[in-house]
Structures are given as C-alpha cells and as structure tokens.
Amino acid sequence: MVRYAIRELFDLMYKEGKPVLMNREYLIDDFNINLSDEEYKKLIEFIVVDSDGKWWMDSIRKRLTKSEAARENGKLGGRPKIVEKIDDKKDTELNQKPSEKTQQENLKNPPLEIEREIESKKEKEINTIDFASLLSFISKSTGRNFKTINETVKKKFKARLREGYSKDDIRSAVKNAVKNDYHIENKFQYLTPEFFSRAETIDKYSGISVHGKEKPDKSQKQVALGPWAV
C-alpha cells in the first residue's frame, strides 16, 4: 500500500510541478488509500512538508529541475559548462531546508527502489503461510474435518495479505464467525476455507476493513499472528 501511495503522489506532484495539498484524509478520499499507522509513518519518510503544510518529494524536484535545465540548454544550443553545474549544485545545497538534507542523507536509494525491497520482504512473508496449520485451525474451530485447501483458495488467501489484511485478521474472523448465532444454527456448514479467504468475510468477522475508513488502533490489536503463521 505504501508503494501504491508513493506512485499516486509521484504522478500527482509531477503533473502539478509543485508541492500539493495533501494529508492522510485526502489519501483516503481522493485515492481510496487507507494506510495503517505503520504504513503512514513509512510514507512520511519520503515526504517533505513545506511551511504551508503541502507535500513534496525531493526526487520530483530533482526531475523537474533536470527537465527545466534540459529545456533551457536546448534553447542555448548545448549543455552548460561544468563550472556552471558545480555552482548550481552548491546553490541548491545552500538553499535546501534542513529537512530536505536529512531526507537525502537517510535515503541512499530512490523511494521506489526502497519500496521494491519492502514489497519483496512482504512477498516472502506471504509465501510463508503454513496452509496445513491454517486448515487444522479452521477444522478445529468449526468442528469439521476439512481435507485440503485447494490452489485457488490458497491464491485468494495470499491476495488478501497483499491487500493489507494480516494473518491475525483472518484468524480473528474464524474465531468470531464460529460464535455467530446464524452459523451455530446452521452447524457451521458455510464456514469453509474458501469462505474465510473472502475480503468481505474478513471485514465482517474480524472487525476491520482495509478498504473502508474503519480500522482499529494497532496498539489495541493482538500482536500474535496465530498458530498458522511461520
């Protein structure tokens, strides 16, 4: 989600060519991006907030400056002298805000490159789902004896994690669904692994919504990932 937010902001800032008015609420309303506290904190590491409260990215500023320089050089019939480049660099460094300099020092790689590393780590975590333990947990919780989770349903579970749901969200959905009067009356016949791989099921029974505006404080959520996380 952080990478998606950066891409949307990158496109918007590049299009506007200047800092944009943005905050957490605007991300939800304008882009349907609802970040957790941890994801929002990570996003802000890539953002420079100016005195007017507008958001900006140093990488965008560099690109626009480079593009403008290229246009001016074309008008003048060639590239500027090396001495002029050095002087421009010194002027830029002197005019930079402390927050911009700190951001440059802390980010050795471009934002999108860092996000690729984050996504890679996240993908590795998704691929560590212990489906045998998950199947056992659902079977014990519902009192049923499921034999397997097919490949289609496995892909759906992985898709939910990529969307921002956690393993503990799915675990909570299972625990809460078996307490529901409707499912108790129907002897849990609808509580299958496929049922719990649906986003709407997790939203309804875990008490959270990745796509909506209602999400509990992470400090109040159970930290444990459940018996099926490895």
In whole angstroms, give the CA distance from residue 132 to residue 149. Answer: 8
Q: Which two tokens stand for residue 140?
A: 């014990």
In the chain, the amino acid numbered 212 is G
pLDDT in tens, 130-188: 999 999 999 999 999 999 999 999 999 998 988 888 889 999 999 999 999 999 999 99
pTM over 0.75: no
Who has greater pLDDT, 18 or 89? Answer: 18
Provide the mean pLDDT of the chain: 74
Tally: H helices and E strands in the chain: 13, 3
In this structure, are residues 206 and 167 in contact, taking their beta carbons and an 8 Å threshold? no
Question: Rounded to an integer, what distance in angstroms lies between the CA atom of residue 24 and that of residue 49?
Answer: 13
pLDDT at 218: 40
The predicted pLDDT at position 6 comes to: 76
Inform me whether the pLDDT recorded for 205 exceeds 80. yes
